[in-house]
A and B are shown apart, each in its own frame.
Chain A
């Protein structure tokens, strides 16, 4: 081993440190600052509504059937025109996701025939009690869209919302 080689190595290393003084820092000041998530990020679930305020979820339980970790529990009930939650005959009277069980695979999203459930960009899920990890429908459903003032259940005209599965186009992608 030549003399001086260790010193050279040291200088080389210090040079890298020195160089980085001029680089912009990459640290994000979470939670004050949040990194934007990727478009296909799979975070906490959101249950969606139609523009008229009705829930997209029809309580079909297909998400629960698709769920590989058995995290979703759905119970259905029947809509009436007097008290309508969703189009068609059926709505979810109970909708619960156990966030501790959920593996955020997005199968529920794939299974949903009405595009009611999507995995959102919220990843800030903390609980101090296991029971708090069970999100019910009120926590999952999105707030009312602007301009609509009626919460579900709504009283609607008979014969308007007869179909549960909307007439959707085949997804192009």
Chain B
């Protein structure tokens, strides 16, 4: 058997790897075989029978083992029945006819069957206009119905599978794509078929309904309008929507998205984002996005409390001022201060950060990164480099995930790591408590809170099994998070992980390295540019004269407590945060949907997002605001994001060679999806605006010695509060999505049943929790997977926990308050 076979499809010759399906091979030569149930990511089901084609194979002469010849050409024998292209494997010399009279007749007849049970709903169906069934009916369908209208199958039209996804039972053509997606791709089989025959239904058997973080993807791949999202229900017709390429700003994965926008009367005639759709990038998110990105992706940019005008505080009241006055005041204050402080966060784009860096350089200002997770200096050195793709990892490779609940923090990484494990990569999950990834792991290492660093250091001993695994592996990637760890602890953990990677030779080459599970979209970029966090922000605020805060809310997060003497605060923000409330000068920034820029993802991939909607109020993009302030200090900075990037590439070695032109390049991706053949890849957008570009491998000279202690350990008689990240939290970026309210719920803290017994609490008890001087009401969930002595407290759920400058973990005294 050769690895590649040559066949002819509709007269076009194509050579493809053996083992490929005819339907995929046809795609290679732009022959589009109609399909419903097949999906290149889901594989064959052979349910819909739409892909019927004529298949002929050469007749092999048994005496010689060679094809029989006729006039010099192999004699082809066509099979008596039509074959389904989605189950037929290619073979040498095969001849496939997709447009022959017989094949076309077969396709038409199957389509007629499908239409007998499909309602004539197209005018009100959300899929109408981007519907595979509609498209294929136009292309192959019969013009006239032979089916009596009175005998049409009727079923329930509006069945909520959960609060996010609606099912129209009548429209469903029982292709099972959604069921197979949940089972095979998402690994969360929470929906399934019920009943049989024509009564076959999709039902959800989870509580809450359709409890999966990938549920929205089923609506994209549904070949009819049976599954629709509650978010976009009757929102607009697809052909009325404009599309702008974007990057999801919700986590460090950097999923490629397309924002669909439309002018809307409900929003006073503004152009608004109507929905978020995945955009194909096989190196990042393939064809999927998580529900947080889909349902919370942009809502916060449309909040009513968006800052629309520059404001100054006079007599303890905010007054709107002109931009000019605001720039001037900012410039003056920054210049007059002895050592101003710039506090920035990973919400900003690379361009914003670079201009801030330039301005700070000119002023001799201190630059600080606002984060509670460290180790970015190391991910800059031994992180993933150009040419890396998690999809390349498989047999012989190893992936280690430590101190992170990936499905909650970065769902797409979870998905891609799960797939790598299914391809044969060895997956090692090192976590103090059970996480969903463990189901797919080869090794699960459980340590006690506080032993994070030691655990990894132990693994790096030459005799340790995991060290051996790493040493043998072709490629190795470590994902580290910050569960139970603060800034110092996570720095130390990153150090330990780096040692393991360096000692086993897994760095500075593609598909090897360290990835930080950051909380913000561009944390990695901020680290690469040289922004560093500081241990104690309070000290900074206590002694500084002027603090320029961009895209951060240290007051709201409880990172600083403002005292009577406080620095002059210039706050550049999107929304009215607590920090804005205490600001002296407020500069309204534009949201990522209203401007251009690039983010550097956790995999060190620089990806570009484009403007989708017009700006709100007088807001300006961050890089421009900074450039305007700089102009008033006689420093010339670029105001055009593309030019800022050129400068950036010149100054920062890791960004060498990166330009807007480069990150906007597209190569052909597999599967080939295309909006005009929606039946193949679903309603997902093809990527025409750029696949991004990964940073160079950094020249490594020496690594900082991993010091740092782990997190705190639980102590006898005390409870250790451990902050954990939740996918749906009460952070403004998520809370602003009305649809997710139910999923966010209230503050829930988790405790071991033994611990709860000891303290006399029952599951579902209402507690009042005091932490670092903050109080909040919480619901107790008794969970046997939580180690004893531990109280899991989700971040951004109403109880401020910030552990960058403060003790990492606080002790909660048990005080039964009833």
Contact = CB atoms under 8 A, between A and B. Distances in A.
Q: Does A associate with B in a complex?
A: yes
B387 to A, nearest CB: 45
Interface string A88-106: 1110011010000000000
Contact of A165 (B123, B233, B266): B123
B266 A75 contact: yes
A61 B240 contact: yes
A76 B234 contact: yes
A143 to B, nearest CB: 23
Given A75-B265, A93-B266, A94-B265, A60 B124 contact: yes
B123 A89 contact: no
A93 B235 CA distance: 11
Interface string B56-99: 00000000000000000000000000000000000000000000
Contacts of B266: 75, 93-94
B746 interface: no
Interface in A48-67: 58-62, 64-65
A162 interface: yes
Contact of B121 (A59, A62, A164, A167): A164
A71 B120 CA distance: 27
A76 B124 CA distance: 9
A164 B157 CA distance: 11
Contact of B234 (A73, A77, A165): A77
Pairs of residues from A and B, 10 with the lowest C-beta to C-beta distance, nearest first = A60-B123, A94-B265, A90-B124, A113-B123, A76-B234, A164-B124, A61-B237, A90-B234, A75-B265, A78-B234
B158 interface: yes
B124 A73 contact: no
A89 B124 contact: yes
Given A75-B265, A162-B157, A88 B124 contact: yes
A89 B234 contact: yes
Contacts of A93: 265-266
Interface in B220-254: 233-237, 239-240
A100 B157 CA distance: 39
28 contacts: A58-B123, A58-B124, A60-B128, A61-B236, A61-B240, A64-B240, A65-B239, A65-B240, A73-B265, A75-B236, A75-B264, A76-B234, A77-B234, A78-B233, A78-B234, A89-B124, A89-B157, A89-B158, A89-B234, A93-B265, A113-B122, A113-B123, A162-B157, A164-B121, A164-B124, A165-B123, A165-B124, A167-B149
Q: Which of B121, B149, B236 has the most chain A CB within a 10 Å cutoff?
A: B121
Interface in B613-670: none
B149 to A, nearest CB: 6
A73 B237 CA distance: 12
B163 to A, nearest CB: 14
Contacts of B234: 59, 76-78, 89-90
A114 B123 CA distance: 9
A19 B233 CA distance: 71
Contacts of A73: 265
Contacts of B122: 113
A24 B234 CA distance: 59
Nearest to B168: A89
A23 B233 CA distance: 65
Q: Which of B149, B234, B237, B264 has the most chain A CB within a 10 Å cutoff?
A: B234
Majority SS at the chain B contact face: loop
A62 B123 contact: yes
Nearest to B156: A162
Given A61-B240, A164-B121, 5 more contacts: A60-B124, A60-B237, A75-B265, A96-B265, A165-B123
Contacts of A165: 120-121, 123-124
Contacts of A90: 124, 234
A88 B170 CA distance: 13
Interface in B112-144: 120-124, 128
Contacts of A76: 124, 234-236
Nearest to B262: A75
Interface string B258-284: 000000111000000000000000000
A7 to B, nearest CB: 72
Q: Which of A58, A114, A164 has the most chain B CB within a 10 Å cutoff?
A: A164
Contacts of B149: 167
Contacts of A60: 123-124, 128, 237
A97 B315 CA distance: 50
A64 B240 CA distance: 9
B808 to A, nearest CB: 48
Q: Which of B120, B157, B158, B237 has the most chain A CB within a 10 Å cutoff?
A: B237
Contacts of B264: 75
Interface in B379-430: none
Interface in A4-59: 58-59
Contacts of A96: 265
Q: Which of B122, B233, B265 has the most chain A CB within a 10 Å cutoff?
A: B265
B227 to A, nearest CB: 15
A26 B654 CA distance: 87
A40 to B, nearest CB: 25
A73 B269 CA distance: 11
Nearest to B152: A167
Nearest to B144: A170
B256 to A, nearest CB: 28
Contacts of B158: 89
A92 to B, nearest CB: 10
B160 to A, nearest CB: 12
Q: Which of B121, B123, B128 has the most chain A CB within a 10 Å cutoff?
A: B123
A165 B506 CA distance: 62
A165 B124 CA distance: 9
A155 to B, nearest CB: 18
Contacts of B240: 61, 64-65
A111 B455 CA distance: 68
Interface string B145-163: 0000100000001100000
A65 B235 CA distance: 15
A77 B124 CA distance: 10
Nearest to A113: B123
B125 to A, nearest CB: 9
Contacts of A162: 157
A3 B132 CA distance: 85
Nearest to A164: B124
Nearest to A114: B123
B240 to A, nearest CB: 7
A94 B268 CA distance: 12
A27 B811 CA distance: 97
Contacts of A58: 123-124
B168 to A, nearest CB: 9
Contacts of A65: 237, 239-240
Contacts of B237: 60-61, 65
Nearest to A86: B124
A167 B145 CA distance: 14
Interface in A135-169: 162, 164-165, 167
A65 B149 CA distance: 27
A165 B157 CA distance: 13
A80 to B, nearest CB: 10
B155 to A, nearest CB: 10
A93 B265 CA distance: 9
A22 B86 CA distance: 84
Nearest to A167: B149
Given A65-B239, A78-B233, A164 B265 contact: no
Contacts of B265: 73, 75, 93-94, 96
Nearest to A76: B234
A95 to B, nearest CB: 10
Interface in B307-343: none
Contacts of A94: 265-266
A120 B503 CA distance: 83
Nearest to B265: A94
Contacts of A64: 240
